[in-house]
Amino acid sequence: MQSLGRHVLAELYGCRFEVLNNIEKVEDIMVNAALEAGAEIREFVFHKFSPQGVSGVVVISESHLAIHTWPELGYAAVDVFTCGDKVDPWDACKYLENMFQATFVNASEIKRGILQEQDERLVANI
């Protein structure tokens, strides 16, 4: 069965507070994760919360990367959604695991937009 995209949901544990609470570092890591995976970046936005935490999204031509951090817990929730065959979301996740120095990662992939046989014929005719 063909799908329109791959969506990796990753939970990163044991990350350093100083990294997860620094908007510039989180932004830089997320943007570079997209580039590492071969994605084409369109735009990005990040927000620093008080007293701690960062959330942000990198919009790519192939979809997006998003993050929400809980520095006080050493935890980050990440999703990497890619469409097409050019970008592998696992490449971005591996980069994030390394750069955030996670001690444990729990990740899974969901196929998005699974096409049935008749839907595949319809898309082929468009």
Whole-number pLDDT of residue 124: 60
Catalytic residue list contains 15: no
pTM of the model: 0.89
Sorted by where each starts, the structural domains of the chain and their CATH numbers stand as: 5-125 (3.60.90.10)
Strands 63-70 and 75-83: antiparallel
Separation between Cα atoms, residue 27 and residue 44, nearest integer Å: 8
SS3 70: strand
Question: Among residues 63, 64, 93, 108, which one is catalytic?
Answer: 63
Walking along the chain (126 residues) 10 residues at a time, the average pLDDT comes out as 90 98 98 97 98 98 97 98 93 97 97 73 57
83 noted as active-site residue: yes
Residue of 7, 15, 64, 83 marked catalytic: 83
End-to-end Cα separation, the chain, in angstroms: 19
Q: Which of 113, 119, 109 is nearest to 8 (CA)?
A: 109
The reported pLDDT for the residue numbered 2 is 82
